[in-house]
Structure 1
Amino acid sequence: MFGGLDQIVSTAIAFAAFGGLIALSVVLARPADRIGMPVVLVLLGLGMLAGSEGLGIPFDDYELASQLGTLALVFILLDGGLNTRRSMLKAGAAPASVLATVGVVGTAAMTALAARLFGLSWPEAIMIGAVVSSTDAAAVFAVLRGSGIHLKQRVKATLELESCVNDPMAVILTTAAIAWFTNQSASVPVLLAIVPIQLAIGAAVGALIGYLTSRGLRRVRLTVTGLYPALTIAAGLVAYGVATLVHGSGFLAVFVAGFVLGNSQIPYRGVFLRVHDALAWLSQISMFLMLGLLVFPSQLLPVALQGMALGLFLAFVGRPL
């Protein structure tokens, strides 16, 4: 009985602590915006301060973090698709495709070379280059929305769309690197051919789910208005799951499903946008706080100089080029 009581108490403490961190994140968002600091850095910093080596909140379940992070990214991308107009997509599709393929490979190569020059071994350098080669969709959306930056429609659409479709190339580069280091056979042409296939499958699944959901929303008459956004949330989850199961890009499927829904004639559009905007912000806050909790500052000290040098290279050389 007392064991069950301990579990209830620990759960209550965890909920209170995480709720307090979310509230503090919201309060600090405005001051951070005034001094030009990205909200992402504030969230990561709060997570680190609250972690095992800070206030003492223990969290090192990487598998759970991966699952929760994927769920959060589904909500973020769904909201991004809902707020993307058809004209924006037309303007940003071509440059985003180039950045998501050629740009990712170029960033990986330059980062690997820089890491090697900073003293890492070739296997370590190549792996780091492959892992950090793609931009993170959650970070891109958070910076564009929370920093007050006003970009031209074409630039904004390019950045958001590229962050949604670059994952397949980064995954393939990482897979190829692992296969190479473990002496497994990995055909580079075959791996590269998978990229357009994954993107095409993801886009097709997302378009189909979005179309079916929009048709359903127009035909179904629900007595409670709040149930309508629940259907679009379900559509995003289904789009990711189905696309991933058939070896497509799940994240692109979610974005496309949201895009189709956002450009369709659906009832209660204002309700949809407000609900998904709030859900996307909650997902961003929760995910970056969680990532901060996973960081052990004491483990960063031995690699701090190399990490900072690589970060600066990536920010001022790798990404811009």
Structure 2
Amino acid sequence: GLVFGNGEFGFVYDDLKVTSIIGTLALNVIVFVGGLNTPMKHIHFAWKEGGMLSTVGVILTTVIFGFILNALLDFNLVTCMLFAAVVSSTDAAAVFSILESKKLKLKHGTSTILEFESATNDPIALLMVIILTDFIINSANGAPTALAVIFSLGQQIGVGVIIGLLMGKLAVWALNHIKLPEFGLIPVFILASFAITVSSTGLLGGNELIAVYIAGVIIGNDLKKGAEVSKHFFNGISWLAQSLMFIILGLQMFPQQLWPVFAASLLPAILLILVARPLAVQLCYLPFRQANWRKRLFVSMIGLKGATPIVFALIPAAAGVEGSREMIHMVFFIVLISVIIQGAALEPLANKLKLNIKPKRPED
């Protein structure tokens, strides 16, 4: 995408709205597939700690990093909070792929908590990005009241949860009772259910990520026939969505505009990794005194970013928020630095903290 989309071969792509739509759709697919692959036992184990990290943790990271950015950059406080909200969530695709590629099995259910957090924290981050973007765009009409913000959050979460539960249950009931003439139609039926979930949630003003994740969890755990073939099919669809998302994001980026903000992105990225994320996680773990300190330290230092923040950064850019183009480029480098530093540190840190369950050798 970076090579072909910026005029090097006579083709220039620059359409923030189309990129935002495609990126958001791809993100919905990735979160849905994450739900399909999440065993219910993992949710029962991780919902308290993981739920705290994916909600309060995201909000705390946004607030802490927002004030840090306000001290470093020329943006006003609200724009800095928007910037912080964009990079506040961890990326499910990055966490899943790195844990799987390194064959890491962590003690105290640490990997399960990281996976649950990364799969469920995007909706809160997205809600904050949308609310802050609307606040900046409509600031001339006056700031929204606290009641209006609470109502918007309640509507987004409530509608998303209801439609996710309803569509998940309906899809499972239908597939368990309808005799389809071809086994391969089961994934197609689930894909249609996904499309209806996304469109109906959007029409009714709910959060699509919440809805598709809940629907995915229900379908993945309750489906009696065709579950395995469907998971393999949708894992392929997820890889396709990730590839499409990265290509379209690469097409949208212009390398000649990236390098001027590289130096300015280094300090914010390091402070996000070493200050904002660890402080937010440690605050979230205050109610969980039984949690091992090694586990808390590992979770606080591993907040992998991926393509999701870049997709989120397209929302204010497509809406015309001042400084949003520069924000996209800085987010690009923050994600890159996060993947390189935190991704590389994952296994050595787990070994140093004695959290890695090493496989037994055959002679053992």
Q: TM-score normalised to the size of structure 2? A: 0.68
Q: How far did 1:97 drift?
A: 3.6
Q: What is aligned with 1:125?
A: 80
Amino acid at match of 1:157: F
Percent identical residues: 30
Query: What is the CA deviation profile of residues 26-58 of structure 1, one whole-angstrom value per residue up to 9, with x for unaligned ones?
Result: xxxxxxxxxxxxxxxxxxxxx323431656653
Work out whether residues 198 and 247 of structure 1, in 8 Å CA contact, stay in contact via their aligned partners in 2.
yes
Superposed CA offset, 1:134-182 (max 9, x none): 44555555555556444532332233222355422332234334444x3
How many Å separate the matches in 1 of 2:179 and 2:63?
53
SS in 2 for 1:319: helix
The offset of 1:251, in angstroms, is 0.9
Aligned counterparts, 1:235-314, within 5 A: 235-314=193-272
Contact 2:85/2:125 (8 A) holds in 1: no
The answer to whether the 8 Å contact 2:168/2:216 transfers is yes
1:199 alignment partner in structure 2: 157
Shift of 1:232: 0.5
Q: Deviations over 1:85-143 (max 9, x none)?
A: 11212233333443343323322222222223323232543432243334455555555
| Alpha carbons of structure 1 residues 210 and 222: separation in structure 2 relative to 1, 3 Å | same
| Residue among 39, 52, 67 paired with 1:98 | 52
1:184 Cα deviation (Å)? 2.0
Q: Equivalents in 2 of 1:207, 1:192: separation in Å?
A: 22
Match of 1:266, SS state, is coil
Task: Tell me if 1:167 matches 2:109.
Answer: no
Name the residue aligned to 2:352: none
Partner Cα distance (1:64, 1:230) in 2? 25
Contact 2:40 2:221 in 1 (8 A): yes
1:301 CA displacement: 2.6
* Other structure's SS at 2:66 match: helix
- State the shift of 1:240 in Å: 1.5
Q: Give the gaps of 5 or more residues in structure 2.
A: 280-364
User: 1:202-235 CA deviation, whole Å, 9 max, x = no partner?
Assistant: 1110110011111111122222222110111111
**Aligned-partner Cα distance in 2 for 1:165–1:259:** 18
Q: Are 1:104 and 1:169, in contact at CA under 8 Å, matched by a contact in 2?
A: no
Q: CA deviation at 1:292?
A: 1.6
Deviations 1:179-198 (A, max 9, x none): 44x35231134313432442
State the match for 1:215 in structure 2. 173
1:49 aligns to 2:27 (yes or no) = no
| TM value normalised by structure 1 | 0.76
Q: Which amino acid aligns with 2:3?
A: L
Aligned partner of 2:21 among 56, 64, 67: 67
Shift of 1:237: 1.4
- Check conservation: 1:73, 1:137, Cα contact below 8 A: no
Root mean square deviation of aligned Cα? 2.5
Going from structure 1 to structure 2, the CA distance change for 1:248 and 1:241 (only over 3 Å counts) comes to same
1:165·1:252 contact (CA, 8 Å) conserved in 2? no
The answer on whether the counterparts of 1:107 and 1:129 sit within 8 Å (CA) in structure 2 is yes
> C-alpha deviations, 1:229-257, integer Å up to 9, x for none?
01111111111111122121111100111
State the AA in 2 paired with 1:155: L
